[in-house]
Structure 1
Amino acid sequence: MSDDGSRSSGWHWHEYGVGPAGEVAHACARSLNAFLVGLGCSFALILGAGILAEENLLGDPGLESAIDHLMRLSVGLLMVFVLVAAFVAVVASYLREVTTSKALVRAAERGASSRAVPAPDQVASVINEPAAPLKYFGWANAALAGVLGVVGLLVVLMESSAEGWMITLVALGYAAVMSLLGYACQEWLPRTHERRRVRIAAHWTAEDEARAWKRARSAGRRGGGKQAPPGSARGASFVYLAGVFCAVGFIALLASMVMRCGTLPARGQSECDEVYYSSFIERVLSWGFWIFAVAVPLAVLFAVVGVLLEWQQRRAERADLLDLLAGPRAASPDKDLLAYHVERHAHPLARVGSALSGAGLVFSISAYMLGEGFGLGSQEEFAAYRTEALIAMLVSAGLFLAATVGTGIANARGRELRNALMERWPRQPFPSVNGEGKIKRPNQGLERQRPRSRRPAARNRTSK
């Protein structure tokens, strides 16, 4: 079947190519999820190492001071990375909407079959409120920066200082830029997106999409044949074990310090009334640091094994699906297996690379800045490792870039398989869950109009 869905035997979903920019936007959004996981792991390491340095458990005052300075600077960089990652995520989300809508317009102009209805996620990119995440990001940052700027202005009016004026002007300027961004996403950007949506809805009517959904529901009621193999479940089990080891390590570390104090230290003091337990609990508390030191590497090892098992299993599943597609009378595979492979996913190794990138960038940049003198101290200790920190910084950035590009290439190459699966064995996508844990109604896009005639969906909307 061609990329424009020109050859089809019935109404079905079809994923249209979105071009290199669209693939990178899709891949970047998925890589950022793993990147945030890496930032979360960085926060856990900062917390654990900071406690060790604060409680003087490393046995070397110089080492404890250097780690304390590194962790304090890493916390600030971690917050900056979270803000930057959120901004990149909302920009990638908007680029995904733009590239998808433009790709569907081009497909309609080339005469794509009306029976090859755009896939549900592509329909969602067209009919949902355009640039909504970017708009909320702009207004939220504008509000926070505006409050900070107003407070700073009141302070510098009473006690004028160069630093105060600089911080105030930067906050007010940032608030103005974010307000302009929010206003543009609310008033200007939706206009061009709406024009593209009207052209798309004129080509694929709500009736076309309703028939594609009807075929997917009827196929889902008939059920699937071959059940999904248990390889992915084994990989998930290793990932869950990694989480258990990580939690046990941090609980043991915290217990070895928190449970030692019977009362909170008095104000201005660091010592407390020590409490002693039975021999078994005392032994466990004395092993707290070593449990942490062993559990964290084991957690990393189990996580890597789980990811590799999942990668191997997904490759075997794709090979089996290709063999089934080659047989004209092959039975339908398991519905969950189909629902997984007709959607885009980040490559398992790309997720690992993105997570390592998040953790590596935080600590490498912190170490480099301390070596350059931008910190609370320990410049002499970190100055000797500036080259290594710079190399780690470049490697971490390269990991994220490779994960994003690799995911984009893998998703582009897998589009042909996804389209073949959606045409032959249509299945409804995985149901999404809201914040209360209830399954939401699938985003059926144009079908929500319930048209009574074959008028274009755009007219149905504008007539309301």
Structure 2
Amino acid sequence: MSDDGNQTNPWHLYEYEVGLAGETARACVHSLTSFLIGLGCAFALIMGVGLLAEEDLLDDPGLEEAVDHLSRMSMGVLLAFVLVVCAAGAVASFLRESTTSKAIVNAAARGASRYAVPSPDQVRSVTGKPAEALAFFGWGNAALAGLLGVIGLIVVLAEGDDAESMLIFSLVTGYALIMAFVGYASSHLLTPAHERRHARVAAHWSSNDEGHAWKPAKQARRDGAGKKTPSRPSIAKRCLYGAAGLWLGGALALQMSVLTRCTSTPGIGRYECEETTYSSPIETLIAGGVWIFAVLISLGVLLAAIGVLFDWRQRRSERAELRTRLADPRSERPAEDLLAYHSQRQTHPLARVGTTMSGAGLVFSTSSYLVGNGLGLGSEDVFAAYRTESLAAMVVSVGMFVAALLGTGIVNVRGRELRNALMERWPSPPSWSADSNGKVQRAKRGPALHGSREVKVGKNKTSGQR
């Protein structure tokens, strides 16, 4: 017997097309999140290897000097990338919300059916604060640049009319003014326009329409209509957990190699590394710490890649099963966690891996190229021979990010038909958890076009609690 709770209810949740700009913005937000993870991995590697070079533990003075210069340049490049990613993420977040609200306003203007209520994810975009991240970025940078500008002004007044100091002061002040305008415009120009679009969307779909569209999803959750799948982790998750364990083991091996090599010096307040020697077997083990680190990290990457492939195969099989069930009008409702996953937009696992590797690769390839061009603190002769390879690595890293961005957008566009079919026949509300104030976005729990943006549910509350 069919397990459709929506047969006599024409209202249903529906995901509207958001256009090329909207899809690109959404894909960019997801890609930049993984890119930041790659930057975090690069930071950990810079700190680990840089510490070995700083404490002369690589047993090669020339190598230690080159690694030290590369690490110092990499840290500066890393900070620059973090700033760029934060700016791009704020802009992409605003474009994601604004393009979604514009698309739904246009759909309403074209006479979209009142029975097809916008999906919870799109309602979150309509009712949310689109320029919140942009305003925070603008005012934060304005405050920081303003502080630096004040310091620069003091330096100029103290040292007299220095052309170079005046130029730096002018640039910093100009940047602070631009960022202040971004923060002001985000709050006073962009947000009101978004609120007007929200009002137009709310005028088309009444609270009664939303209530009817959400009713089957809420009923299914209350009745526990879906079958629970076993909580045992899949092969893909086991591989990813194993990879995380190998990475942790590699980091510990590297850290222990440093800690056992160095001893504290009595009477010295600051940290210094006094090299310590041990018996031959222990020396061999300590010397192999770097190699253990390299091997475990490499094995972790390989295991993670295997896990990603298993995950891709599993999700493809699940989509095929769902399409088969949708084609059968007598098919029972699938498992809730299966519906919850495939009713929402997702980032392809290969795209996550690609953008993560892109973040780490760009940091080191850019740093190597800059040092090779004489823009570092030294070791130009070492890295000059690898400028072509560094440039090629930069191009490959950028290509991986672009490919992941396009792939994520294409996958989500192609999956819209399946998501709409699932939401119409077996609607499944999104999961949620309350913030530190015990509040949650209303669009995650039910009708949200009419009323406040957030609702108080209590601290530590989640969608899984009864």
Q: TM-score with structure 1 length normalisation?
A: 0.89
Aligned residue identity for 2:168: I
Secondary structure of 1:427's counterpart equals: coil
Query: Match for 1:153: what amino acid?
Result: L
Aligned-residue identity in percent: 54
Counterpart amino acid of 1:73? M
Pairing of 1:380-399 with structure 2 (within 5 A): 380-399=381-400
- Aligned position for 1:216: 217
Summarize the Cα distance change of 1:232–1:433 in structure 2 as closer, same or farther, 3 Å threshold: farther
Q: How does 1:246-265 map to 2 (within 5 A)?
A: 246-264=247-265
- Structure 1 residues 415 and 69: CA distance shift in structure 2, 3 A: same
Deviations 1:13-32 (A, max 9, x none): 11000011110101010011
Contact 1:231–1:309 (Cα < 8 Å) also in 2 = no
Deviations, residues 35-66 of structure 1 (Å, cap 9, x unaligned) = 11111111111112212222323332222211
CA-CA distance at 1:151 after TM superposition: 1.5
Match of 1:31 in 2: 31
With 357-366 and 261-270 compared, the bigger mean Cα shift is at 261-270
Aligned to 1:3: none
CA distance in 2, matches of 1:262, 1:59: 18
Checking the alignment, whether the CA contact within 8 Å between 2:123 and 2:449 is kept in structure 1 is no
Map of 1:73 onto structure 2: 73
1:233 is aligned to 234
Aligned residue identity for 2:391? L
Relative to 1, partners in 2 of residues 1:435 and 1:239: Cα closer, same or farther, differing over 3 Å? farther
Letter of the structure 2 residue corresponding to residue 251 of structure 1: L
Structure-1 residue corresponding to 2:117? 117
Task: Please identify, of 205-214 and 371-380, the stretch whose mean Cα deviation from structure 2 is larger.
Answer: 205-214
Deviation of 1:226 after TM superposition, in Å, equals: 5.0
Q: Is the 8 A contact 1:8 1:116 kept in 2?
A: no
Query: In structure 2, what is the equivalent of residue 52 of structure 1?
Result: 52
Q: Helix, strand or coil: the match of 2:117?
A: strand
Gaps of 5+ in 1: 1-6, 451-464
Distance 1:30 1:248 in 2: 28
Deviations 1:337-389 (CA, angstroms, capped at 9, x unpaired): 11111111111111111111111111111111111111111111111111111
- Deviation of 1:215 after TM superposition, in Å, equals 2.0
**1:345 counterpart residue number:** 346
Does the 8 A contact of 2:25 with 2:95 survive in 1?
A: yes
> How far off is 1:164 after superposition?
2.9
Distance in 1 (CA, whole Å) between partners of 2:117 and 2:204 is 10
Cα distance, 1:295–1:435 mapped onto 2, change above 3 Å: farther
Matching residue of 1:361: 362
Cα distance, 1:444 vs structure 2: 3.6
Instruction: Output the CA distance in 2 between the equivalents of 1:275 and 1:36.
Output: 39
Judge conservation of contact 1:25–1:93 (CA < 8 Å) in 2: yes
2:451 corresponds to which letter in structure 1?
Q
Q: What's the secondary structure of 2:274's corresponding residue?
A: coil
Q: Distance in 2 between matches of 1:428 and 1:273?
A: 60
- 3-state SS of the aligned residue for 2:356? helix
Q: Residue 243 of structure 1 aligns to a residue in which SS?
A: helix
Moved more, 346-355 or 160-169: 160-169
Distance 1:419 1:22, change over 3 A: same
Measured in 1, the distance between the counterparts of 2:280 and 2:389 equals 45
Aligned counterpart, 1:193:
194
SS at match of 2:299: helix
- The structural deviation recorded for 1:440 is 7.3
Q: Which deviates the most, 87-96 or 433-442?
A: 433-442
CA contact (8 A) 1:232 1:309 kept: no
Unaligned ranges ≥5, structure 2: 1-6, 453-466
1:140 and 2:171 aligned: no
Partner of 1:98: 98
- The residue number in structure 2 matching 1:453 is none
1:159 to partner: Cα distance? 1.9
Residue pair 2:139, 2:183 contacting (<8 A) in 1 also: yes
Which amino acid in the other structure matches residue 395 of structure 2? L
2: CA distance between counterparts of 1:82 and 1:8? 52
| Residue 371 (structure 1) aligned with residue 372 (structure 2) | yes
Q: Distance in 1 between the 2:270 and 2:343 partners?
A: 61
Letter in 1 for 2:448: L
Matched, 1:428 2:424: no
Q: Partner letter of residue 130 of structure 2? A: P
Q: Is the 8 A contact 1:259 1:275 kept in 2?
A: no
Contact persistence 2:97–2:125 (CA under 8 A): yes
Is the CA contact (8 Å cut-off) linking 1:206 and 1:447 kept in structure 2?
Answer: yes
SS at match of 1:446: coil
What is residue 449 of structure 1 aligned with on the other side? Answer: 451
Worse-superposed segment, 168-177 or 229-238 = 229-238
Q: Following TM superposition, by how much is the alpha carbon of 1:142 offset from its aligned partner in structure 2, in angstroms? A: 0.7
1:10 aligns with 2:13: no
Cα deviations across residues 199-257 of structure 1 (Å, max 9, x unaligned)? Answer: 11110112211222222110122324455478973212211221111111111211222
- Equivalent AA in structure 2 for residue 61 of structure 1: P
> C-alpha separation between the residues in 2 aligned to 1:359 and 1:381?
21
Q: Distance in 2 between the 1:254 and 1:294 partners? A: 15
Q: Please give the alpha-carbon distance, in whole angstroms, between the structure 2 residues aligned to 1:63 and 1:274.
A: 21
Shift of 1:173: 1.1
CA contact (8 A) 1:34 1:354 kept: yes
1:317-346 deviation digits (Å, cap 9, x = unpaired): 111100110100101111111111111111
> Contact 2:263/2:273 (CA < 8 Å) preserved in 1?
no
Q: Aligned pair in 2 of structure 1 residues 247, 163: CA closer, same or farther (>3 Å)?
A: farther
Partner Cα distance (1:234, 1:115) in 2: 41
Residues 133-142 or 204-213, more deviating? 204-213
SS at match of 2:234: helix
User: Partners in 1 of 2:240 and 2:296 — Cα distance?
Assistant: 14
Query: How far off is 1:273 after superposition?
Result: 7.6
> Structure 2: how far apart are the matches of 1:180 and 1:168?
18
Instruction: Quickly say closer, same or farther: Cα 1:225–1:101, change in 2 above 3 A.
Output: closer
Q: State the Cα distance separating 1:129 from its structure 2 match.
A: 2.1
- What's the offset of the Cα at 1:104? 0.4
Displacement of 1:281 in angstroms is 7.2
CA offset digits 1:178-218 (Å, max 9, x no partner):
00001001111123222221211110112211222222110
Asked if the contact 2:138–2:179 (Cα under 8 Å) also holds between the matched residues in 1, the reply is: yes
The aligned residue for residue 107 of structure 1 is 107
| AA matched with 1:272 | E
After TM superposition, the score normalised by the length of structure 2 is: 0.88
**Letter of the 1:126 counterpart:** V
Match of 1:456 in 2: none
1:267 Cα deviation after fit: 6.6
CA distance in 2, matches of 1:127, 1:46: 41
Whether the aligned pair in 2 keeps the contact of 1:361 and 1:396 (CA below 8 Å) is: yes
